[in-house]
Amino acid sequence: MLLEIPQLLNQAQLEKMREMLQPARFVDGRLTAGRVASQVKHNEELAQEPEVLQRLYRIVMASVGHSEVFRSAVLPAKVADFIFARYQPGMRYGDHVDDPIMGQGPRFRTDVSMTIFLNEPGAYEGGELVIRTPFGEQRVKLPAGHAVVYPSASVHRVAEVTRGERLVALTWIQSFVRDAARRELLYELDQSRQHLLKTDPESDVTKNIDRSYVNLLRMWAEL
């Protein structure tokens, strides 16, 4: 499932982050790519400057942790440290799937990939995230502060930036439910459950739906 999460970051957070990223040092993105991906990757990533990174993580993780849509759709067990990537004119990232296992300390499986857009679509031309789905290619270019999540196994690319600068935050998540179809089903069921818990909390229908959700999650969750 490809899902857009609107307004994950607010204007103040975006401004703060851009202010920190503007003077920061970026390095060739190929340094962090797997062997196959590095052949098609052409972008820049924020250098490992622990102090800047820690401050950026704090801002972005607070928002991600508070997003109900994110929690319900992704069912996150482990969220990787964010990478901040920059694409300037001529840069692109060709078709690839993300590395299946990541992490230098504790390792984790990548089930879901997330891109948060940090500058406005008008600030650059090109730079769409193009994701292959069973229903054709989806081109994603969202307002600043919006995010998109999609299965890490899907083939995707970033179209060449022809003007301006594309600035994004990226992370990868190991989900409690590794199968994308099951996550999608749980997400839809959770939408109905949340709605019923608000509108009709005492009814038997609500209680049944709630129990079904909880027990399906128990059936499919892996720790």
- The site for Ni ion (CB under 5 A) is made up of 98
If residue 199 lies in a helix (H) or strand (E), which one and from where to where?
helix 180-199
Least distance in angstroms from the C-beta of 156 to Ni ion: 6
SS3 state of residue 40: coil
Rounded CA separation 137/41 (Å): 19
Least distance in angstroms from the C-beta of 55 to Ni ion: 25
Least distance in angstroms from the C-beta of 76 to Ni ion: 18
Contact indicator for 37, 87 with CB cutoff of 8 Å: no
CA torsion sign for 42, 85, 158, 112 is positive
Q: Within 10 A of 45 (CB to CB), how many other CB atoms are there?
A: 19
Of 98 and 190, the one with the shorter C-beta distance to Ni ion is: 98
Of 139 and 218, the one with the shorter C-beta distance to Ni ion is: 139
Of 45 and 190, the one with the shorter C-beta distance to Ni ion is: 45
Contact indicator for 73, 1 with CB cutoff of 8 Å: yes
Least distance in angstroms from the C-beta of 91 to Ni ion: 14
Least distance in angstroms from the C-beta of 96 to Ni ion: 6
Of 13 and 32, the one with the shorter C-beta distance to Ni ion is: 32
Rounded CA separation 203/197 (Å): 9
Of 78 and 132, the one with the shorter C-beta distance to Ni ion is: 132
Least distance in angstroms from the C-beta of 152 to Ni ion: 8
Of 98 and 160, the one with the shorter C-beta distance to Ni ion is: 98
Rounded CA separation 122/144 (Å): 10
Nearest residue to Ni ion, by Cβ distance, number only: 98
Contact indicator for 20, 56 with CB cutoff of 8 Å: yes
Of 5 and 186, the one with the shorter C-beta distance to Ni ion is: 5
Kindly state the tokens that stand for 164.
């301006």
Rounded CA separation 89/159 (Å): 11
CA torsion sign for 109, 113, 116, 122 is positive
Least distance in angstroms from the C-beta of 23 to Ni ion: 27
